[in-house]
Amino acid sequence: MQTEARLGDVDANLADCARLADQAVRAGATWVVLPEFFSTGIGYLPELSARAPSIDGEPTRLLAGLATRHGIHVGGSTLVRDPDGEVRNAFLLFGPDGLAGRHDKDLPTMWESALYTGGRDPGRLDVAGTTVGVALCWELMRSQTVARLGGEVDLVVGGSGWWSLPEWPLLGGAERRNHARATAAPATFARYVGAPVVHAAHAGRVACDFLGTPLRYRGRLEGGAQICDARGRVLAYRDRDQGAGVVLADVTLGRATPTFASDRFWLQRRGAVAATAWHFHNAVGRRAYARAQQRRHHRPEESTR
């Protein structure tokens, strides 16, 4: 599935996801994957974290309802505030009989660090004897994800909210390379991990504050919803310029021999701009998240959804 989320507009985003899921089922899908942050979209908007619902909130109920109504498996990631008070980026997979499992993204990416904290689970879910791995966005870019899933899973599901570089002068070449990395990530990961990958994505434009600066970010989401086999062949693909919609393919579940991911942290090399932004925004974001949690501890607020 590929969506064009409205940043922070939960009602509109959930309605769009339900419409696209229904469309996919009518076309024959028995597994439906929603993108990362399907309920909110992604940008540096602190309200996304402040208003994160509990695990039984509306985004979770949407997934559960779709699975029950259509008799399918359906999953996607959404921000949730857990009973310990922490916000996490949780991918929830539902089947007709209820929750099949959960994976929390391990490392927030750049301004995401201001919105939630990372998880530590292995991201391997047992679904009626099929081992399903979960990888979200830049988890598809790191060798440590291959280490936990490579040769261990029969299918990988997940999605991305991968944004472009800012629309500033002199960044055109770096952005073309960024888009190429985003587009290649699912297929590259499939080859490394030795399992088919179903990858949902966001397209459309986004504008928000630029974390740690007085500047305004304006850019677009890279899109690239796709389905790949265990050898990394792309079976179905939707370009970002095609906007919202679904891709479908018949997938053979099973494990191929994984490819050694080397001892590099990243599976694909990043450019200097992305590397600088990664370190700067992660550091600034973690401090912003800690301050927000401290304020919440002193002035508890009720979740709104």
Element (H, E) at 159: strand 155-159
Average pLDDT on 65-84 reads 98
Q: What is the pLDDT of residues 136-162, one digit of tens each?
A: 999 999 999 999 999 999 999 999 999
pLDDT at 303: 47
Q: How many Å apart are CA 175 and CA 240, to the nearest integer?
A: 14
Element (H, E) at 291: helix 272-298
Structure confidence at residue 299 as a pLDDT band (50, 70, 90): confident
pLDDT at 263: 74
Q: What is the CATH number of domain 2-298?
A: 3.60.110.10
DSSP-derived secondary structure for 54-66: PTTSHHHHHHHHH
Contact 96, 67 (CB under 8 A): yes
Average pLDDT on 70-92 reads 98
User: Is the predicted pLDDT of residue 302 greater than 60, yes or no?
Assistant: no
pLDDT at 305: 55
Contact 168, 216 (CB under 8 A): no
DSSP-derived secondary structure for 24-52: HHHTT-SEEEPPTTTTT--SS-THHHHTP
Q: Which two tokens stand for residue 82?
A: 């857990």
pLDDT at 269: 82
| Count, residues in the chain | 305
Q: How many Å apart are CA 255 and CA 145, to the nearest integer?
A: 16
Average pLDDT on 272-283 reads 90
Q: What is the pLDDT of residues 164-205, one digit of tens each?
A: 999 999 999 999 999 999 999 999 999 999 999 999 999 999
User: Is the predicted pLDDT of residue 68 greater than 70, yes or no?
Assistant: yes
Q: How far is CA 109 from CA 25, 141, 246, in A?
A: 32, 11, 26
Average pLDDT on 203-231 reads 96
Task: Return the minimum-mean-pLDDT range out of 30-39, 84-93, 267-276.
Answer: 267-276
For tokens 């359906």, the residue is 74
6 Cβ contact list (under 8 Å, min separation 6): 12, 13, 41
Structure confidence at residue 101 as a pLDDT band (50, 70, 90): very high
Structure confidence at residue 259 as a pLDDT band (50, 70, 90): confident
> For the chain, what are the domain ranges?
2-298
Residue 121, exposed/middle/buried by CB under 10 A (0-12, 13-18, 19+)? middle
Average pLDDT on 92-113 reads 97
- Residue 278: how many CB atoms within 10 A of its CB? 17
User: Is the predicted pLDDT of residue 70 greater than 50, yes or no?
Assistant: yes
Report the predicted TM-score, pTM, of the whole model to 2 decimal places. Answer: 0.95
Q: How many Å apart are CA 123 and CA 242, to the nearest integer?
A: 30
